[in-house]
């Protein structure tokens, strides 16, 4: 079970507020290019593809094949990338060695059995192929703006797997860590726009704090948005395994 349901309301909020612009993603494009070494015909899995932002971006950026796999029917229904295959990390509906690389973005904390998922990825990614994991890991809230206004949500983040937990599962499955870096993104043009657009259902840590904590954080965010200028820049981690 994922930590949240990814039902219709979650999927609608995610689609409406979590897709980033190409400009906002420029550092991610540069990091992915460096670690993935995309080339014509390369076969890539987007696991837990959600509403398809990354599968679509990879297809726009590179001349590669992307197979999107997503367990939630509501997320699949709203995907901007097609086709999307039903499936999850513990049962990836692909043949052995059938992809050159896998991309897993803000999914790993929803996976109930990390060891089993790592073994499945070892099975479907060809030997020497890479797994790129984009995530907010436990203990790594400092570069993510929302946690400044919703500090109680750090408590939720700290129940996610740490980077070391994920590395341990993948190492046990036969992978080696070949990279770990923090990558910035422009999440919104201004704090004011971020505050106006914010949807609680689009953020797992905000769903899992209580209503009073959420209301207090929202008030702090709107107060700060009256005076803060400049874009909202967040940084998530990229863990690369081969
Ligand atoms: C925060 S969304 C991220 C969506 C997309 N990867 C992105 O970055 O835009 C998390 C996604 O993980 C999916 N998910 C939940 N449990 C999963 C599992 N066990 N295996 C694969 N995906 C899972 C959810 O359905 C949801 O679409």
Domain that holds residue 115: 8-147+154-187+236-241
Q: What's the average model confidence in pLDDT over 158-185?
A: 98
Q: Is residue 200 part of a domain?
A: no
Pocket of ligand 1 contains residue 185 by CB under 6 Å: no
Cβ atoms 218, 198 nearer than 8 A: yes
Q: How far is the CA of 154 from the centre of ligand 1 (A)?
A: 20
Q: Is residue 225 part of a domain?
A: no
- Atom of ligand 1 at shortest distance to CA of 71? 25
Furthest CA-CA distance within the chain? 54
Strand order in the sheet with 177-188: 84-85, 65-69, 43-47, 99-105, 125-135, 232-241, 177-188
Q: How far is the CA of 201 from the centre of ligand 1 (A)?
A: 14
Q: Would you say the C-alpha torsion 207, 212, 215, 216 has a positive or negative sign?
A: negative
Under 8 Å CB-to-CB from 160, ≥6 apart: which residues?
108, 109, 135, 136, 137, 138
Q: Which CATH number belongs to the domain containing residue 158 in this structure?
A: 3.40.50.150
Reported as a pLDDT band with limits 50, 70 and 90, residue 2 is confident
**Domains identified in the chain, total number:** 1
Mutate to test the pocket of ligand 1, among 4, 11, 48 (most ligand atoms within 8 A of CB): 48
Quick: pLDDT tens for 112-156: 999 999 999 999 999 999 999 999 999 999 999 999 999 999 999
Q: How far is the CA of 41 from the centre of ligand 1 (A)?
A: 25
Peptide bond into 163 cis (omega under 30): no
Q: Is residue 195 part of a domain?
A: no
């Amino acid at each position: 079970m994922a930590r949240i349901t990814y039902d219709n309301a979650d999927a609608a909020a995610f689609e409406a507020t979590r897709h980033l612009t190409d400009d906002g993603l420029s550092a991610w494009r540069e990091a992915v290019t460096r670690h993935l070494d995309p080339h014509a015909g390369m076969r890539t899995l987007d696991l837990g593809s959600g509403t398809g932002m990354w599968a679509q971006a990879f297809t726009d950026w590179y001349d590669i094949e992307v197979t999107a796999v997503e367990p939630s029917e509501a997320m699949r229904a709203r995907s901007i990338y097609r086709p999307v295959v039903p499936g999850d990390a513990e049962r990836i509906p692909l043949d052995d060695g059938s992809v050159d690389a896998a991309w897993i973005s803000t999914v790993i904390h929803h996976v109930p059995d990390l060891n089993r998922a790592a073994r499945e990825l070892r099975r479907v990614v060809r030997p020497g192929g890479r797994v790129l994991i984009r995530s907010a890991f436990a203990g790594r809230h400092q570069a993510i703006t929302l946690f400044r206004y919703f500090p109680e949500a750090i408590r939720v983040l700290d129940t996610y797997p740490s980077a070391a937990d994920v590395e341990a599962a993948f190492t046990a499955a036969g992978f080696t860590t070949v990279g770990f870096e923090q990558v910035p993104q422009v999440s919104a043009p201004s704090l004011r726009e971020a505050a106006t657009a914010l949807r609680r259902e689009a953020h797992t840590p905000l769903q899992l704090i209580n209503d009073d904590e959420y209301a207090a954080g929202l008030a702090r965010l709107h107060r700060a948005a009256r005076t803060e200028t400049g874009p909202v820049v967040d940084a998530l981690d990229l863990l690369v395994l081969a």
